Amino acid sequence: MTAERPTGAEATVIIGQKVRPGLEREFEAWQEDVNAAAARYTGFLGAEISRPTPVQPDWVVVYRFDSIAHLQVWINSATRQSFLDRGAGYLDGPATQQVVSGGTQPPDPLVTVVVTHRVHPDHVDAFLAWQRRMTQKESAFEGFRGTELFRPVEGLQDEWTTLYRFDSAEHLDAWLTSAERKEALAEGEKFHDFRMRTIDNSFGSWFAFEENGREVPPPSETKTSVAVWVGLYPTVVLLTLALSPAKLPLWLGLLVGNLLSSFIMSFVTMPFYVNPLLKRWLRPRPDAPVTRTRLLGLGLVTAVMVFWAAVFYLVTTVIWHLP
């Protein structure tokens, strides 16, 4: 069902940006510097960069602050404007921006659609009624995970913002292309002035490690890939050793091993080994020095992987030879 969130709590801004072809690495390095600058501002809670995917065509940057006031200070700051001036050459056209206020949790780490509507003040009641009917229709679709509705943010954004979530891109597409949605859009024809963006975070559920159990946005794609590598290597080697006495043919061994490794990674390796081990690197504190955090994280990753490589070298060449 639709939950309209009150104002005055955390504030999140979602910025979508197209990047000039061939400048993706330069853009990502520049954006990391922008995020580091944002981290020095009062009220900063976190920032994430998400690369384009088949579901999400733009680069997406999400900033979270503890209040609208602190978010406004960062968005309107001379520091951010200076960065925008220096990074203009990486950007292919103007960015899009949506702000949501009042949430205690960032967008769902699966597939989230962000829709913004301009609504005339005289039509607010009709808009809210139409949103309720829209939610009733979409909640009947498989994979639906809920909707949140956010009022305009005075002084920062004039649009109403709706977040609705599905557990997969396939289930989302089923809703977006459905006759029920077309019918609902026709009913709300007066609200046709809207923008929509889909946000996809592929490994989101592997990186939920807040102490209270809430899921948080995943790290950057680079950190995600390295973290998965840290967990995957020992998992795959240990499974290979465990399955080797069965002498399964290659095709069957890989079939069984991949299935087991997927379950072990999701339920054991990531939540109990990788996330606690690399937490300060994957999700550094807002006030943590960026360069020091990066170097310590990379040093820890290197040490861990050297350790595993040495252990498995001894196990497979000195202690035990695979059959």
Question: In one letter, which amino acid is 182?
Answer: K
Three-class SS of residue 153?
strand
- Distance between CA 8 and CA 48 in Å, rounded? 22
Per-residue pLDDT of the chain (323 residues; tens, 9 = 90+): 444 444 446 788 888 888 999 999 999 999 999 999 999 998 888 888 888 877 778 888 888 888 888 888 888 788 888 888 888 899 887 777 777 765 444 444 457 787 888 888 888 888 888 888 888 888 888 888 777 777 776 666 778 888 777 877 788 888 888 999 888 888 887 777 777 766 665 444 444 444 433 444 556 778 888 989 999 999 999 998 898 888 889 889 889 989 999 889 988 898 889 988 998 888 776 567 778 888 999 999 999 999 999 999 998 888 876 55
The matching CATH number, chosen from 3.40.50.1220, 3.30.70.20, 3.30.70.260, 3.30.70.100, for 2-202 is 3.30.70.100
Which whole-number Å values give the CA distances from 225 to 151, 230, 298, 301, in the listed order? 36, 9, 13, 12
Contacts for 58 with CB less than 8 Å, ≥ 6 apart:
16, 17, 18, 52, 96, 197
Domain boundaries, given as residue ranges, for the chain: 2-202, 221-319
Q: How many CB atoms lie within 10 A of CB 310?
A: 10
Q: What angle do CA 145, 147, 153 make, to 5 degrees?
A: 145
Question: In one letter, which amino acid is 195?
Answer: R
CA 258 to chain centroid: 25
Please tell me whether the overall predicted TM-score, pTM, comes out greater than 0.75 for this model.
Answer: no
